Amino acid sequence: MGLAIVILAAGKGTRMHSTLPKVLHQVGGKPLLQHVLETARNLKPEQIITVVGHGAEAVRKVIGDDYSQWVFQEEQLGTGHALAVALPEVRASQVLVLYGDVPMIRADTLRAVVSNIGPDDMNVLTVQLPDPHGYGRVIRNDEGLVIGIIEEKDATPQQRSIQECNSGILAADRGRMKALLDQLDNQNVQGEYYLTDTIALAQEQGLRVHAVTVTEEAEVLGVNNKTQLHTLERYYQQRMTHHLLAAGVTLKDRDRVDIRGPMPVTGRDNVIDVNCILEGDIELGDDVEIGPNCYLKNVRLGHHVHIHANSVLENVVVGDGCQVGPYARLRPGTVLSPKAKIGNFVETKNAKIGQGSKVNHLSYIGDTAMGDGVNVGAGTITCNYDGAYKHQTIIGDHVFIGSNSALVAPVEIGPDATIGAGSTITKPVAKGKLAVARSRQVIIDSWVRPKKGA
């Protein structure tokens, strides 16, 4: 009684007006198809088969082969034809049909769709809509069984008043489904084989067609254009921010926070200000405050961390009690030890900043191992690139670096050393020593500033 999930994802998506295959357009930072595949995995099926057509190689390259078995539909002749192409690959006894452009379907909803399916049953997913305009209406008999789907253009006024609409998602016995697909014809305006036509055929042949109904349209809303894509993006963000609020996070404005990726892991008493984007894997400790207009991607923040306004953090780890920003950029490989401080207009990359160390203003620290209690003056840079290779700067504990200094890597500054302001350091500085490397100041008394017309 295994389950195979077949995902139909071969459409071109002409109305998207894009060279990108439709199912690779993103909601919440992930392709539409990836949302469907991740939900499908939650059902633990025996097989997941994805039918691809337009842009098949691009789809496989982005998604990879770990999620699904792939079947190619050479000609796009309708949803019924797409399932017929996939069915020979199905080993399981039950088939659930999903769509690669319907990303918000929930696993619990699908579990209801695949429950209690016998050889003579078909389950279809329907949705109750306050405004069903444009949707095919679900026709039931007196027993509540589905006996057909009627398109709006073919419906009577009474049928158009029906608010239960077809989603296209269905589940059935594999053998029964094959027999129904073999009877489909393409005698319609589009000349295509419609999967929805199997519902009427099933009823005519004595199968019991049951409806599983959802009330939230977004769960079954497909993406055919950028307007629908935008609608689902906002729905996804509302769903994610609802979870954040439920977890106790204070959002200054839930409509101005975007989560792109999985739900952040969060502690207590955290605050996120407006216009923040959290992408990828995000972990927040307790008492974290993220100021307005910040972008965080794959970031782990410890307890009592404050990220000030307009800061960008990507692939970094920030220890307890750290301060970052405003206007700071922490690039991949940055690790801040507890109580470190990165100030305004500071950029770091592949840098370990020691406990209590401060880089307060207008500095670049790259490929650096910095000890504890270091103070870096404004305008300091590590010159880590020689035009071909990157080199490391090592700074010991309790070093003081004067403003406007350049540390030319590879170079090591010993513990307790001091670098005079304006120095260019090219050689090692021993423990406790003062290094000054600047030009001698000269005063020219007889100099006269040039003037125009003189």
Provide the whole-model pTM.
0.88
Peptide bond between residue 326 and the one before it cis (omega within 30 degrees of 0): yes
What local confidence, expressed as pLDDT, does residue 454 receive? 65
Average model confidence (pLDDT) for the chain? 95
What local confidence, expressed as pLDDT, does residue 133 receive? 85
What local confidence, expressed as pLDDT, does residue 452 receive? 87
What local confidence, expressed as pLDDT, does residue 417 receive? 98
pLDDT reading at 111 higher than 80:
yes
| Contact between 276 and 290 (Cβ < 8 Å) | yes
pLDDT reading at 189 higher than 80:
no
Span 373-426, pLDDT tens digits: 999 999 999 999 999 999 999 999 999 999 999 999 999 999 999 999 999 999
Residue 1 — pLDDT band, cuts 50, 70, 90?
A: low
Residue 75 — pLDDT band, cuts 50, 70, 90?
A: confident
Write down the CATH superfamily of domain 226-435: Hexapeptide repeat proteins (2.160.10.10)
Domain-wise residue ranges, the chain: 3-220, 226-435
Structure tokens at 37: 């595949």
pLDDT reading at 150 higher than 90:
no
Structure tokens at 186: 């393409």
DSSP string, 150-208: E-GGG--HHHHT--EEEEEEEEEEHHHHHHHHHT----STT----TTHHHHHHHHTT-E
Q: Report which of 375, 367, 297 is spatially closest to residue 341, judged by C-alpha positions.
A: 375
Whether the CA torsion 116, 118, 120, 124 is positive or negative: it is: positive
At 320, the amino acid letter reads D
Peptide bond between residue 88 and the one before it cis (omega within 30 degrees of 0): no
pLDDT reading at 353 higher than 90:
yes
What local confidence, expressed as pLDDT, does residue 187 receive? 84
What local confidence, expressed as pLDDT, does residue 135 receive? 84
Structure tokens at 204: 């005519």
| Contact between 405 and 383 (Cβ < 8 Å) | no
pLDDT reading at 301 higher than 70:
yes
Average pLDDT over residues 14-35: 96
Span 257-296, pLDDT tens digits: 999 999 999 999 999 999 999 999 999 999 999 999 999 9
What local confidence, expressed as pLDDT, does residue 67 receive? 86
Active site residue 230: no
pLDDT reading at 134 higher than 90:
no
What phi, psi does 140 have (nearest 5°)? -115, 160
- Beta strands 94-99 and 164-173 are antiparallel
Q: Name the percent of the chain lying above pLDDT 90.
A: 86
How big is the chain, counted in residues?
454
DSSP string, 248-269: T-EES-GGGEEEESSPPEE-SS
| Contact between 349 and 331 (Cβ < 8 Å) | yes
Residue 151 — pLDDT band, cuts 50, 70, 90?
A: confident
| Contact between 222 and 169 (Cβ < 8 Å) | no
Which is the catalytic residue, given 306, 361, 391, 398? 361
What local confidence, expressed as pLDDT, does residue 64 receive? 93
Q: Name the percent of the chain lying above pLDDT 70.
A: 100
What is the distance between the alpha carbons of residues 260 and 240, in angstroms, rounded to a whole number?
9
pLDDT reading at 446 higher than 70:
yes
Lowest mean pLDDT among 131-140, 324-333, 384-393: 131-140
What local confidence, expressed as pLDDT, does residue 154 receive? 81
Helix (H) or strand (E) holding 244: helix 226-246
Span 363-387, pLDDT tens digits: 999 999 999 999 999 999 999 999 9
| Contact between 170 and 199 (Cβ < 8 Å) | yes
Write down the CATH superfamily of domain 3-220: Spore Coat Polysaccharide Biosynthesis Protein SpsA; Chain A (3.90.550.10)
Q: Report which of 284, 384, 291 is spatially closest to residue 344, judged by C-alpha positions.
A: 291
| Contact between 75 and 140 (Cβ < 8 Å) | no
